[in-house]
Amino acid sequence: MYGDFGSDAGNSRRLCWLHNQGLVPYSVAWELQRSLVTQRLRGSGLNDVLILLEHPPVYTLGTGSSLDFLKFDPSQTEWEVHRIERGGEVTYHCPGQLVGYPILNLLHYRQDLHWYLRQLEEVLIQVLAVYGLKGERVVGYTGVWLEGRKVAAIGIKVSRWITMHGFALNVCPDLEGFKSIVPCGISDKPVGSLAEFIPGIEFEQVRKLVASAFSEVFEVELIEPQL
Protein backbone atom coordinates (compact mmCIF):
# COMPACT_ATOMS: atom_id res chain seq x y z
CA MET A 1 0.00 0.00 0.00
CA TYR A 2 2.19 3.14 0.44
CA GLY A 3 4.64 2.27 -2.28
CA ASP A 4 5.79 4.21 -5.29
CA PHE A 5 2.97 6.28 -6.75
CA GLY A 6 4.94 6.74 -9.92
CA SER A 7 7.53 9.11 -11.22
CA ASP A 8 7.19 12.73 -10.21
CA ALA A 9 9.45 13.86 -13.03
CA GLY A 10 8.22 17.18 -14.29
CA ASN A 11 6.30 17.77 -11.06
CA SER A 12 7.76 20.63 -9.05
CA ARG A 13 6.50 19.10 -5.81
CA ARG A 14 7.44 15.82 -4.20
CA LEU A 15 4.54 13.37 -3.93
CA CYS A 16 3.27 12.33 -0.50
CA TRP A 17 0.53 9.86 0.35
CA LEU A 18 -2.16 11.32 2.61
CA HIS A 19 -3.81 8.62 4.68
CA ASN A 20 -6.76 9.82 6.75
CA GLN A 21 -7.78 7.38 9.45
CA GLY A 22 -10.31 7.49 12.24
CA LEU A 23 -9.83 6.18 15.78
CA VAL A 24 -6.84 3.81 15.70
CA PRO A 25 -5.34 1.87 18.64
CA TYR A 26 -1.87 3.20 19.40
CA SER A 27 -0.13 -0.16 18.91
CA VAL A 28 -1.67 -0.52 15.43
CA ALA A 29 -0.51 2.92 14.29
CA TRP A 30 2.91 2.37 15.85
CA GLU A 31 3.40 -0.88 13.94
CA LEU A 32 2.24 0.77 10.70
CA GLN A 33 4.82 3.52 11.12
CA ARG A 34 7.59 1.06 11.79
CA SER A 35 6.64 -0.95 8.72
CA LEU A 36 6.62 2.15 6.51
CA VAL A 37 10.01 3.26 7.84
CA THR A 38 11.49 -0.21 7.26
CA GLN A 39 10.24 -0.20 3.67
CA ARG A 40 11.83 3.19 3.05
CA LEU A 41 15.12 2.23 4.63
CA ARG A 42 15.25 -0.62 2.12
CA GLY A 43 14.21 1.47 -0.87
CA SER A 44 14.72 5.22 -0.94
CA GLY A 45 12.56 5.66 -4.05
CA LEU A 46 9.28 5.23 -2.19
CA ASN A 47 6.98 8.19 -1.71
CA ASP A 48 6.54 9.94 1.61
CA VAL A 49 3.45 9.44 3.78
CA LEU A 50 1.37 11.63 6.08
CA ILE A 51 -1.00 9.76 8.41
CA LEU A 52 -3.70 11.73 10.24
CA LEU A 53 -5.74 9.98 12.92
CA GLU A 54 -7.03 9.88 16.50
CA HIS A 55 -6.13 7.47 19.30
CA PRO A 56 -8.17 5.98 22.15
CA PRO A 57 -6.83 7.18 25.54
CA VAL A 58 -3.14 6.25 25.83
CA TYR A 59 0.03 7.55 27.47
CA THR A 60 3.38 7.42 25.68
CA LEU A 61 6.87 8.04 27.02
CA GLY A 62 9.91 8.95 24.94
CA THR A 63 13.09 6.88 24.98
CA GLY A 64 14.62 8.73 27.91
CA SER A 65 11.39 9.94 29.51
CA SER A 66 11.32 9.94 33.31
CA LEU A 67 8.66 7.95 35.15
CA ASP A 68 8.65 10.80 37.66
CA PHE A 69 6.37 12.65 35.26
CA LEU A 70 3.66 9.99 35.68
CA LYS A 71 1.30 10.56 38.61
CA PHE A 72 0.41 6.87 38.70
CA ASP A 73 2.24 3.55 38.82
CA PRO A 74 2.40 2.27 35.21
CA SER A 75 2.69 -1.33 36.45
CA GLN A 76 -0.54 -1.05 38.43
CA THR A 77 -2.97 0.82 36.24
CA GLU A 78 -5.69 0.20 33.69
CA TRP A 79 -4.29 3.02 31.54
CA GLU A 80 -2.56 1.98 28.34
CA VAL A 81 1.09 3.06 28.55
CA HIS A 82 3.83 2.67 25.93
CA ARG A 83 7.51 3.58 26.01
CA ILE A 84 8.44 4.37 22.44
CA GLU A 85 11.47 5.40 20.41
CA ARG A 86 10.67 9.09 19.94
CA GLY A 87 12.32 11.95 21.77
CA GLY A 88 10.54 13.96 24.44
CA GLU A 89 8.82 13.18 27.72
CA VAL A 90 5.40 11.72 28.55
CA THR A 91 2.30 12.79 26.66
CA TYR A 92 -1.35 11.81 26.39
CA HIS A 93 -3.45 10.95 23.34
CA CYS A 94 -7.23 10.71 23.23
CA PRO A 95 -10.18 11.30 20.88
CA GLY A 96 -10.55 14.90 19.78
CA GLN A 97 -6.79 15.24 19.39
CA LEU A 98 -5.51 15.19 15.80
CA VAL A 99 -2.32 13.15 15.58
CA GLY A 100 -0.04 13.41 12.56
CA TYR A 101 2.65 10.91 11.64
CA PRO A 102 4.81 12.11 8.72
CA ILE A 103 7.04 9.44 7.21
CA LEU A 104 9.42 11.65 5.26
CA ASN A 105 12.82 11.11 3.70
CA LEU A 106 14.66 14.24 4.81
CA LEU A 107 17.32 13.62 2.16
CA HIS A 108 14.77 15.21 -0.19
CA TYR A 109 14.18 18.21 2.11
CA ARG A 110 16.89 19.29 4.53
CA GLN A 111 19.14 17.10 6.66
CA ASP A 112 18.52 19.17 9.77
CA LEU A 113 16.37 17.94 12.66
CA HIS A 114 15.93 21.42 14.14
CA TRP A 115 14.65 22.63 10.77
CA TYR A 116 12.23 19.69 10.64
CA LEU A 117 10.84 20.40 14.12
CA ARG A 118 10.36 24.08 13.28
CA GLN A 119 8.56 23.08 10.06
CA LEU A 120 6.12 20.89 12.00
CA GLU A 121 5.47 23.79 14.36
CA GLU A 122 4.92 26.08 11.37
CA VAL A 123 2.25 23.75 9.96
CA LEU A 124 0.25 24.03 13.18
CA ILE A 125 0.87 27.76 13.60
CA GLN A 126 -0.57 28.30 10.12
CA VAL A 127 -3.65 26.25 10.98
CA LEU A 128 -4.28 28.33 14.11
CA ALA A 129 -3.90 31.50 12.06
CA VAL A 130 -6.86 30.45 9.89
CA TYR A 131 -9.00 30.82 13.03
CA GLY A 132 -7.43 34.13 13.94
CA LEU A 133 -5.38 32.50 16.70
CA LYS A 134 -1.72 33.35 17.26
CA GLY A 135 0.20 30.15 17.84
CA GLU A 136 3.58 30.70 19.46
CA ARG A 137 6.84 28.90 20.00
CA VAL A 138 8.52 28.96 23.41
CA VAL A 139 12.30 29.20 23.47
CA GLY A 140 13.88 25.98 24.72
CA TYR A 141 10.80 23.84 24.07
CA THR A 142 9.25 22.03 21.13
CA GLY A 143 5.55 22.46 20.35
CA VAL A 144 2.98 25.21 19.89
CA TRP A 145 1.42 27.42 22.57
CA LEU A 146 -1.69 29.58 22.55
CA GLU A 147 -1.95 32.32 25.16
CA GLY A 148 0.39 30.38 27.45
CA ARG A 149 -1.31 26.99 26.98
CA LYS A 150 0.35 24.18 25.10
CA VAL A 151 -2.04 23.08 22.36
CA ALA A 152 0.34 20.95 20.30
CA ALA A 153 3.09 18.50 21.26
CA ILE A 154 5.80 17.24 18.93
CA GLY A 155 8.10 14.24 19.29
CA ILE A 156 10.02 12.53 16.52
CA LYS A 157 12.36 9.69 15.67
CA VAL A 158 14.65 9.78 12.63
CA SER A 159 16.50 6.77 11.21
CA ARG A 160 18.95 7.48 8.36
CA TRP A 161 16.90 10.62 7.69
CA ILE A 162 13.55 8.76 7.55
CA THR A 163 11.13 10.31 10.05
CA MET A 164 8.44 8.75 12.22
CA HIS A 165 6.15 9.82 15.09
CA GLY A 166 5.21 13.49 14.79
CA PHE A 167 2.68 15.91 16.28
CA ALA A 168 -0.52 15.94 18.33
CA LEU A 169 -2.87 18.93 18.09
CA ASN A 170 -5.50 19.32 20.80
CA VAL A 171 -8.60 20.22 18.80
CA CYS A 172 -11.50 19.30 21.08
CA PRO A 173 -10.29 16.56 23.48
CA ASP A 174 -11.28 15.89 27.06
CA LEU A 175 -8.23 17.32 28.84
CA GLU A 176 -8.82 15.40 32.09
CA GLY A 177 -6.33 12.71 31.10
CA PHE A 178 -3.50 15.25 31.14
CA LYS A 179 -4.00 15.67 34.89
CA SER A 180 -2.42 12.26 35.50
CA ILE A 181 0.95 13.36 34.09
CA VAL A 182 3.32 16.29 33.88
CA PRO A 183 2.79 16.83 30.14
CA CYS A 184 6.08 16.84 28.23
CA GLY A 185 7.80 17.26 31.60
CA ILE A 186 6.67 20.92 31.78
CA SER A 187 5.04 21.69 35.11
CA ASP A 188 4.55 25.45 34.80
CA LYS A 189 2.69 25.66 31.47
CA PRO A 190 -0.86 24.26 31.26
CA VAL A 191 -2.27 22.21 28.40
CA GLY A 192 -5.05 23.72 26.32
CA SER A 193 -7.21 22.98 23.29
CA LEU A 194 -8.50 24.91 20.29
CA ALA A 195 -12.07 24.31 21.47
CA GLU A 196 -11.38 26.55 24.48
CA PHE A 197 -10.81 29.43 22.07
CA ILE A 198 -13.17 28.43 19.23
CA PRO A 199 -16.28 26.79 20.74
CA GLY A 200 -17.86 24.32 18.33
CA ILE A 201 -14.70 23.94 16.25
CA GLU A 202 -15.09 21.11 13.75
CA PHE A 203 -12.50 18.36 13.97
CA GLU A 204 -12.75 17.36 10.32
CA GLN A 205 -12.25 20.93 9.21
CA VAL A 206 -9.05 21.11 11.25
CA ARG A 207 -7.90 17.83 9.68
CA LYS A 208 -8.28 19.37 6.19
CA LEU A 209 -6.49 22.55 7.26
CA VAL A 210 -3.58 20.57 8.69
CA ALA A 211 -3.22 18.59 5.45
CA SER A 212 -3.30 21.82 3.42
CA ALA A 213 -0.76 23.58 5.62
CA PHE A 214 1.51 20.51 5.60
CA SER A 215 1.40 20.52 1.80
CA GLU A 216 2.40 24.17 1.66
CA VAL A 217 5.07 24.16 4.36
CA PHE A 218 6.82 21.03 3.06
CA GLU A 219 6.05 21.84 -0.59
CA VAL A 220 4.57 18.40 -1.34
CA GLU A 221 1.59 17.24 -3.37
CA LEU A 222 -0.68 15.14 -1.18
CA ILE A 223 -2.28 12.14 -2.86
CA GLU A 224 -5.01 10.09 -1.19
CA PRO A 225 -4.86 6.36 -2.00
CA GLN A 226 -7.76 4.90 -3.97
CA LEU A 227 -9.20 2.22 -1.70
Strand 58-61 and strand 48-54: the pairing is unpaired
Is 184 tagged catalytic? yes
Taking the C-alpha atoms of residue 73 and residue 126, their distance in angstroms, rounded to an integer, is: 38
Of these residues, 16, 94, 172, 184, which one is catalytic? 184
- Rounded to 10°, the helix 113-130/203-218 angle is 140
E strands along the chain, which residues?
14-23, 48-54, 58-61, 81-83, 91-93, 97-103, 144-146, 149-159, 162-170, 220-223
The catalytic residues are: 184
